[in-house]
Structure 1
């Protein structure tokens, strides 16, 4: 397949088309599970379902039943063409599970495989089943500086462990949501109708081309999660029953794993946490935790503002494109709801107050560490 064909092109439909009855039949045929409860979860171009099995239907093919249920993942038709990518996603979870990182566990189907390729709606899609991991999502609990700091620690620890993971399925992976693909947004920017917003998008794409692309060979590279956001981070109460004090406990959704750059992982995490609060300062708390566990060279730190702006532009542009394609797809509307444009404008402010710069994340991190 050519490099061009590996990247999503405007107008291409790759999301699986299947109804709930089809999902139930699929789960029964491939995993021997009779579905008691089925809930569709968020997914940008994949389909994900939370499944609770009927305990009254015994199936000899299943030896270990997950007490918390399962997640069925039906991968989009584009990624499904890369079978080694599917294998890499399964293997990275097993790799992290053996290194004390809480994440989903892949389940073998009735044929003994961790995935299968199924014809769904006339297209081929990879189908997998994972154990459901209990816990609340970070988006649903009270936010605190300490929680953002701890997420930074967690992500640095995750990347430190992933330094020892590699897989052939990630070597040539191309995906429109990879930060390296920001220049490709030129093809999608037509969906931004507001002239001021379009100017911002074009400015950030150009800045990425001249400030980031020529520097890529200098950055530390490895496998990253690629999508650490408030819907992919699990938290649990620090003390049983607490409704105010939470700690980061695990990570889910390895659909965006890639061989990329560690500073991209940090930038993506900071972006989503700032979106969550609407305050650029939040990035400083994430940075504080990250740099306690992992060194960030000064020349990489200086790229953060451009990388974070680029992630916002990527999310806003692809979100607008997705809604233009399917008005009912509310997955990426979250960036707009969280005022991604407002945050982007704050980041692009030409001359921040030198005595009170909310994007001086290094100073904010230092002040937080001093206080703590």
Structure 2
């Protein structure tokens, strides 16, 4: 059996590298689209493309996103189906998620052998509806926006926990999945990629804190299926006007590739961490996101007590895995270092202030 590090290496190394011509060919052959425009979109270990296609009326066009999954994850068709079924289910409940466009044979996806250099590799190809909106990363965060994002995180977890019962649901028990917060100790297998000793020591401190203050309590926490990646590029916002004031609502939730079994508190911590990244005033962010989440799903005292540590754990995961994946795919360095631009500073600031001081700020707001 491959080690956790080997599995992550396989995922990164099997990232597809299709060009726009190949995307047009796939769109035409699998989905019978007449493509008028293609452009690449950012992605961690898959490939995403924006597609504009002609409709029956030549003056009209339709918009889609083609998602080409990395070769390693493409082997798990049941997991990809589960992710796709979740999008369909949430859409049916009125939540703003992409939905799949069926292939010309009526399927949700198509496994395609695609040339990648001298070899052909199989990649799962899906065509999803395109959602309009502005990525949260491009909008200055306000308390109201952060509250709405926190509440949307709760709505997703609550809806899936209570109502999603598709047989593929069992695929979200992903065991050694490195991005699940319960697997924070696995970072020890990757931290060699961080060359600075002082930063490695910080990561080890975060791991030990998780092992002593979080892991023993997990059995008492509310379980759920986590989206697991509510970062500011996976949340779309749309301007609204309320009582004469401009505001923003969540108009899209993207990228369900990191879904796994977890806990409500995991979703809160992940969302807080990512909302802090681009904020000009990061410390108060946690309180506003938490307030939004708890407006629907109040947390227990024990769950709240682990929030600080779990936010630092997500920083550690993102920062360490970015360094590790750059070793494997240096050409993707700019995207992989998105979090690192401010992440190390935020993590060190949290640790410097300490749990009690940060909680005082967060819990006063929430």
**Per-residue Cα deviation, 1:181-236 (whole angstroms, up to 9, x for no partner):** 22121121111111211111111122222322232222211211111111111111
Mapped to 2, the partners of 1:244 and 1:194 lie a distance apart of 45
Mapped to 2, the partners of 1:293 and 1:76 lie a distance apart of 35
Counterpart of 2:72 (choices 46, 61, 78) is 78
SS at match of 1:210: helix
Are the aligned partners of 2:9 and 2:328 in contact in 1 as well (CA < 8 Å)? no
- Residue 269 of structure 1 is matched in structure 2 by 271
SS at match of 1:91: helix
- Residue 370 of structure 1 is matched in structure 2 by none
- Report the CA distance between 1:237 and its aligned residue: 0.7
Are the aligned partners of 2:55 and 2:62 in contact in 1 as well (CA < 8 Å)? no
Mapped to 2, the partners of 1:11 and 1:114 lie a distance apart of 22
- Residue 360 of structure 1 is matched in structure 2 by 360
SS at match of 1:123: strand
- Within 5 Å, give how 1:169-180 maps onto structure 2: 169-172=171-174, 174-180=176-182
**Higher helix proportion:** 2
- Report the TM-score, using the length of structure 2 for normalisation: 0.90
Are the aligned partners of 1:189 and 1:317 in contact in 2 as well (CA < 8 Å)? yes
- Report the CA distance between 1:244 and its aligned residue: 5.5
Mapped to 1, the partners of 2:92 and 2:130 lie a distance apart of 17
- Residue 345 of structure 1 is matched in structure 2 by 348
- Report the CA distance between 1:277 and its aligned residue: 0.9
Are the aligned partners of 2:36 and 2:54 in contact in 1 as well (CA < 8 Å)? yes
Over 3 Å counting, the alpha-carbon distance change for 1:119 and 1:243 in structure 2 is: farther
**Structure 2 spans left out of the alignment, 5+ residues:** none
Counterpart of 1:195 (choices 189, 194, 197) is 197
- Residue 25 of structure 1 is matched in structure 2 by 25
Mapped to 2, the partners of 1:7 and 1:335 lie a distance apart of 23
- Residue 157 of structure 1 is matched in structure 2 by 155
Mapped to 2, the partners of 1:22 and 1:186 lie a distance apart of 39
1:305 matched to 2:328: no
- Report the CA distance between 1:129 and its aligned residue: 0.5
Counterpart of 1:114 (choices 93, 101, 108) is 108
SS at match of 2:192: helix
- Residue 34 of structure 1 is matched in structure 2 by 34
Mapped to 2, the partners of 1:37 and 1:157 lie a distance apart of 35
SS at match of 1:334: coil
Mapped to 2, the partners of 1:209 and 1:100 lie a distance apart of 39
**Per-residue Cα deviation, 1:30-79 (whole angstroms, up to 9, x for no partner):** 11112211111111111100100134798xxxxxxx95500000111222
Are the aligned partners of 2:46 and 2:69 in contact in 1 as well (CA < 8 Å)? yes
SS at match of 1:364: helix
Mapped to 2, the partners of 1:243 and 1:212 lie a distance apart of 41
Mapped to 2, the partners of 1:10 and 1:194 lie a distance apart of 26
- How well do the aligned residues superpose, as a CA RMSD in angstroms? 2.5
Are the aligned partners of 1:233 and 1:248 in contact in 2 as well (CA < 8 Å)? yes
- Report the CA distance between 1:176 and its aligned residue: 2.0
- Report the TM-score, using the length of structure 1 for normalisation: 0.88
**Structure 1 spans left out of the alignment, 5+ residues:** 59-65, 367-372
Over 3 Å counting, the alpha-carbon distance change for 1:341 and 1:325 in structure 2 is: same
Mapped to 1, the partners of 2:352 and 2:314 lie a distance apart of 17
User: Comparing 46-55 with 10-19, which one deviates more in the overlay?
Assistant: 10-19
- Residue 333 of structure 1 is matched in structure 2 by 337
- Report the CA distance between 1:336 and its aligned residue: 1.4
Are the aligned partners of 1:7 and 1:174 in contact in 2 as well (CA < 8 Å)? no
- Residue 84 of structure 2 is matched in structure 1 by 90
Are the aligned partners of 1:69 and 1:131 in contact in 2 as well (CA < 8 Å)? yes
When the two structures are aligned, how many residues end up with a matched partner? 355
- Report the CA distance between 1:250 and its aligned residue: 2.6
